[in-house]
C-alpha cells in the first residue's frame, strides 16, 4: 500500500506548534481510542519538551471497552494523563478538565501560592486528521461550529476562545501528520477512515480487515454475515462470503467483492460489527 505525506508540511507544523507552545499551559493531544498507537505522532513528544499534556482517547464509544480498560491501565502505569471520551454524543467537560487539572497540578499550586488563580489556563489541541478535533472543540466550547479546520500546524491570526472557569482554548488545532512506520499503521489508519479512501484499494483493505476480524472478533463475522466457521477461511474467502450474505453478484454469478468490500468497511467504521479496537497494549 502506497501512502505518502509531504515533508514540507512537517517542518511548518513543527514550527507553528512550537511557536504556539510558548503561549500554552497544557496540550490536549487527541487520538482515536481504536488505534491509540497509529493515531499518535511520536514526534509530538519531542516538540512538547516537558509541556504538560493530556491524552484524549476520543471515539471511545467505537472501541472495545475491554481493550479501553487495558490501555487505561497502561497509561496509569506510565504516569501518562489519559481520558477516554465520546465527544460526538457526551458531555465531556468534567472528564477533560479533571485530566487537565491533574496534568497542571504543579502549575495550579504555584499560582495559588502567588495568589494568581485568576490567570487563564490556556490549552492547545493537537491531533492527526479525523480523530475528532473539531468535534471535541465544538463540544468543549459549547458551540455548534467553532472556527476550526485541518491545516498543517496552527494557523496564524489565532484566537483564544474563552470557555468556562478561566479556561481558554486556541481556536485552531495543531494538525499533525499521520505516521506510516509499519505496514500495520497504514492499515489501521485506513480501517478507521483516517486516510482518504482514494489512496487505498478497497478490496485489499477489506481482505486485511477480514483477516484481522477473523483473528480478534470472529463472532462479529458470524453474527453480521452468517459466516459459520471464519477461522477456517482466508481473507478473500471471507470477502466472498460477505458478498454472498448480501446477494452481491456480478454478471456471470461471481460474488461482487468490490461492493462487499465497500459495505464491510462502512459497516465496520459505523460500529455495525460491534465495538472494535485495532490495537492493544503489548504484554
Ligand atoms: N462515534 C464517534 N464519532 C466521532 C467522535 N468524535 C468525532 N466523531 C466523528 O468523526 C468524524 C471526524 O471528526 P472531526 O471533528 O471532523 O475530526 P478532525 O478532522 O480531527 O477535526 C466526524 O464524522 C465526527 O462526527 C466520537 O467521539 N465518537
Ligand atoms: Mg477538523
Question: Between 105 and 13, whose confidence is greater?
Answer: 105
If you average pLDDT over every residue of the chain, what do you get? 90
Cell of 154: 496552527
Q: How far is the CA of 203 from the centre of ligand 2 (A)?
A: 28
Which range among 9-18, 55-64, 148-157, 214-223 shows the weakest confidence by mean pLDDT? 148-157
What pLDDT is recorded for position 149? 44
Mutate to test the pocket of ligand 1, among 135, 146, 274 (most ligand atoms within 8 A of CB): 135
What pLDDT is recorded for position 150? 44
Q: How far is the CA of 279 from the centre of ligand 2 (A)?
A: 23
Of all ligands present, the nearest one to the C-alpha of 271 is 1
Q: ∠95-50-30 over CA atoms, to 5°?
A: 40
What pLDDT is recorded for position 46? 85
Segment 2-16 shows an average pLDDT of 66
Segment 144-149 shows an average pLDDT of 49
Q: Are 243 and 260 in contact (CB under 8 A)?
A: yes
Question: Between 214 and 9, whose confidence is greater?
Answer: 214
pLDDT digits (tens, 9 = 90+) for 94-139: 999 999 999 999 999 999 999 998 999 999 999 998 999 999 999 9
Q: How would residue 8 be classed by pLDDT, with cut points 50, 70 and 90? A: low
Segment 79-88 shows an average pLDDT of 97
Residue in the structure block whose three cell numbers are 504484554: 283
Which range among 59-63, 140-144, 251-255 shows the weakest confidence by mean pLDDT? 140-144
Residues framing ligand 1 (Cβ under 6 A): 58-59, 61-62, 86-88, 127, 129-135, 150
Question: Between 152 and 204, whose confidence is greater?
Answer: 204
Q: How would residue 174 be classed by pLDDT, with cut points 50, 70 and 90? A: confident
Residue 142, Cβ density class (10 Å: 0-12 exposed, 13-18 middle, ≥19 buried): exposed
In the predicted model, is pLDDT for residue 219 greater than 60? yes
Where are the domains positioned within the chain?
7-175, 201-269
Least Cα distance to 49 among 24, 75, 78, 76 occurs for 24
Cα 102 to Cα 11, 53, 83, 108, distances in angstroms: 31, 10, 11, 9
Percentage of the chain beyond pLDDT 90 is 71
Give the Cα separation of 100 and 125 in Å (integer): 12
CATH class in words for 201-269: mainly alpha
Bridge-based pairing of strands 82-84 and 26-32 is: unpaired
Q: Are 187 and 49 in contact (CB under 8 A)?
A: no
Paired with 153 in beta bridges are 175
Say what the pTM is: 0.92
Domain 7-175 sits in CATH at 3.40.50.300
What pLDDT is recorded for position 1? 44
End-to-end CA gap in the chain = 28
Least Cα distance to 215 among 280, 161, 134 occurs for 280
Mutate to test the pocket of ligand 1, among 34, 132, 138 (most ligand atoms within 8 A of CB): 132
Burial 112-135 (b: 16+ CB within 10 A, else e): eeeeeeeeebbbbbbbbbbbbbbb
What pLDDT is recorded for position 158? 63
DSSP element (H, E) containing 250: none
Which range among 60-74, 180-194, 263-277 shows the weakest confidence by mean pLDDT? 180-194
Query: Ligand 2 is a single-atom ion; what residues have CB below 5 A from it?
Result: 133-134, 150
Cell of 259: 461492493
Give the Cα separation of 269 and 275 in Å (integer): 9
Amino acid at each position: 500500500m502506497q501512502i505518502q505525506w509531504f515533508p514540507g508540511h512537517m517542518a511548518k507544523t513543527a514550527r507553528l506548534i512550537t511557536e504556539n507552545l510558548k503561549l500554552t499551559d497544557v496540550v490536549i493531544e487527541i487520538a482515536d481510542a481504536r488505534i491509540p498507537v497509529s493515531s499518535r505522532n511520536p514526534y509530538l513528544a519531542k516538540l512538547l519538551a516537558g509541556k504538560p499534556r493530556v491524552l484524549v482517547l476520543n471515539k471511545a464509544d467505537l472501541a472495545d471497552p475491554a481493550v479501553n480498560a487495558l490501555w487505561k491501565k497502561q497509561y496509569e502505569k506510565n504516569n501518562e494523563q489519559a481520558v477516554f471520551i465520546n465527544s460526538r454524543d457526551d458531555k465531556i467537560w468534567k472528564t477533560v478538565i479533571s485530566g487537565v487539572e491533574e496534568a497542571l497540578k504543579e502549575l495550579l499550586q504555584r499560582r495559588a501560592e502567588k495568589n494568581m488563580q485568576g490567570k487563564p489556563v490556556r490549552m492547545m489541541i493537537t491531533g492527526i486528521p479525523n480523530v475528532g478535533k473539531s468535534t471535541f472543540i465544538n463540544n468543549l466550547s459549547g458551540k455548534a461550529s467553532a472556527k476550526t479546520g485541518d491545516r498543517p500546524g496552527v494557523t496564524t491570526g489565532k484566537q483564544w476562545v474563552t470557555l468556562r472557569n478561566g479556561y481558554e482554548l486556541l481556536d485552531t488545532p495543531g494538525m499533525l501528520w499521520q505516521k506510516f512506520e509499519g505496514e500495520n499503521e497504514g492499515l489501521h489508519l485506513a480501517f478507521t477512515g483516517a486516510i482518504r479512501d482514494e489512496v487505498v484499494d478497497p478490496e485489499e483493505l477489506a481482505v486485511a480487515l477480514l483477516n484481522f476480524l477473523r483473528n480478534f472478533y470472529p463472532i462479529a463475522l458470524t453474527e453480521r454475515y452468517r459466516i459459520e466457521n471464519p477461522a477456517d477461511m482466508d481473507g478473500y474467502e471471507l470477502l466472498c462470503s460477505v458478498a454472498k450474505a448480501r446477494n452481491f453478484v456480478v454478471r456471470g454469478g461471481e460474488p461482487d467483492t468490490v461492493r462487499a468490500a465497500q459495505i464491510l468497511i462502512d459497516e465496520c467504521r459505523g460500529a455495525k460489527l460491534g465495538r472494535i479496537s485495532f490495537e492493544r497494549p503489548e504484554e
